[in-house]
């Protein structure tokens, strides 16, 4: 009896030791990435940590060459080809939002109560719109026609506004935030989650008409529409559902949930709407949207993803973090 008890104790200790060793390797392991075996995969190289701070906002130019980031009031433009900062500008207020225009010629940012549009050649302000302080603008985009459209979230009311003329394009009598609202790249379609009905509704902002309804139960935020408006994605528990509006079918992709923070996956569509990237506690997974195949499984030791972005030519994917100011970049060979 004593012999079996000692053996059992050593077995338990060995098991505990192995568990600690396994967790240590997993948690503190190397940050380099690899692709899952046996899948027709993209070739992904990286990560490369960019020497720019992105504590507040971050965006990629359409050609993937330039990165704009804000660290409080400081705007930095990084040239990936030259591997150096080509512009550093200090503003009066913290920069809350950044986005390049479709041509890459302009950069629009929100700072304080202002939306400013900068010329990316001269780095001069070419347009400035004052925003009334009580109008809390959380989501915004620059359309291909250089219109600036923003979603204003208030208690029990959400408005979509064309800031060029102040016109309200859509009013929804429901309480939302940026995690439950999305635009397509043209600024024509808006998708948002209606909690009472457990549905995602789509509206045409030009005609003001309802165009689609998607059953989304459960939905834990992350509502995201592909640039071409064909696909709508939202977070489920450890998975991301994607609705194909053409085929009228739903596909569920495994993403994994962050077991430490309980946060749900970040979602990004490629600019041509052919791929979707999901970032969670298990790394970054890239899936094809036509064949639903896993194209890349990027494993990192990071668990605190904040934002996830494809470049417009789909040759790069960048990630920012909640606890680290420096973004990482992976290069993709299509």
Q: What is the pLDDT of residue 311?
A: 86
Q: pLDDT class for 225, splitting at 50, 70, 90?
A: very high
Domain spans of the chain? 43-333
- Mean pLDDT over 86-97 rounds to 93
Q: Which residue has the higher pLDDT, 55 or 149?
A: 55
Q: What is the pLDDT of residue 295?
A: 94
Q: What is the 3-state secondary structure (H, E, C) of the chain?
A: CHHHHHHHHHHHHHHHHHHHHHHHHHHHCCCCCCCCCCCCCCEEEEEEECCCCCCCEEEECCCCCEEEEEECCEEEEEECCCCEEEEEEECCCCEEEEEECCCCCEEEEEECCEEEEEECCCCCEEEEEECCCCCCEEEEEECCCCCEEEEEEECCEEEEEECCCCEEEEEECCCCCHHHEEECCCCCEEEEEECCCCEEEEEECCCCCEEEEEECCCCCCCCEECCCCCEEEEECCCEEEEEECCCCEEEEEECCCCCCCCCCCEEEECCCCCEEEEEECCEEEEEECCCCCEEEEECCCCCCEEEEEECCCCCEEEEEECCCCCCEEEEEEC
Q: What is the pLDDT of residue 252?
A: 93
pLDDT (tens digit, 9 = 90+) per residue, 273-289? 999 999 887 689 999 99
Percentage with pLDDT > 90 across the chain: 43
- Classify domain 43-333 at the CATH class level: mainly beta
Percentage with pLDDT > 70 across the chain: 80
Q: What is the pLDDT of residue 67?
A: 94
- Mean pLDDT over 179-198 rounds to 90
- Mean pLDDT over 65-70 rounds to 93
- Mean pLDDT over 130-140 rounds to 63
What is the average pLDDT value for the chain, to the nearest integer? 81
Q: pLDDT class for 178, splitting at 50, 70, 90?
A: confident
Q: What is the pLDDT of residue 199?
A: 95
């Amino acid at each position: 009896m004593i012999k079996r008890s000692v053996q059992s104790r050593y077995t338990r200790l060995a098991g505990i030791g192995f568990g600690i060793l396994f967790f240590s390797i997993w948690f503190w392991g190397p940050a380099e990435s690899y692709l899952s075996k046996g899948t027709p995969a993209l070739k992904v190289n990286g990560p490369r940590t960019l020497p720019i701070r992105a504590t507040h906002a971050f965006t990629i130019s359409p050609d993937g060459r330039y990165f704009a980031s804000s660290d409080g009031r400081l705007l930095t433009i990084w040239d990936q080809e030259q591997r150096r900062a080509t512009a550093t500008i200090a503003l009066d207020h913290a920069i809350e939002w950044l986005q390049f225009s479709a041509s890459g010629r302009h950069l629009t940012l929100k700072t304080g109560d202002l939306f400013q549009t900068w010329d990316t050649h001269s780095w001069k302000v070419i347009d400035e719109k004052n925003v009334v302080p009580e109008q809390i603008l959380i989501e915004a985009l620059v359309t291909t026609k250089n219109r600036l459209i923003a979603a204003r979230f208030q208690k029990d009311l959400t408005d979509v506004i064309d800031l060029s003329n102040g016109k309200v394009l859509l009013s929804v009598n429901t309480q939302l935030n940026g995690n439950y609202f999305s635009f397509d790249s043209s600024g024509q379609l808006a998708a948002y989650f209606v909690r009472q009905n457990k549905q995602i509704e789509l509206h045409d902002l030009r005609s003001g008409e309802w165009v689609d309804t998607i059953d989304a139960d459960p939905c834990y935020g992350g509502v995201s529409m592909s640039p071409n408006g064909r696909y709508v994605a939202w977070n489920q528990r450890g998975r991301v559902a994607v609705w194909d509006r053409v085929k009228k079918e739903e596909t569920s992709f495994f993403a994994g949930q962050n077991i430490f923070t309980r946060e749900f996956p970040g979602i990004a569509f490629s600019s041509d709407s052919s791929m979707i990237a999901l970032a969670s506690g298990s790394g970054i997974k890239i899936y094809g949207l036509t064949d639903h195949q896993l194209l890349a499984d990027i494993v990192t030791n990071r668990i605190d993803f904040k934002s996830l972005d494809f470049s417009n030519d789909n040759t790069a994917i960048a990630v920012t973090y909640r606890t680290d100011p420096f973004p990482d970049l992976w290069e993709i060979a299509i």
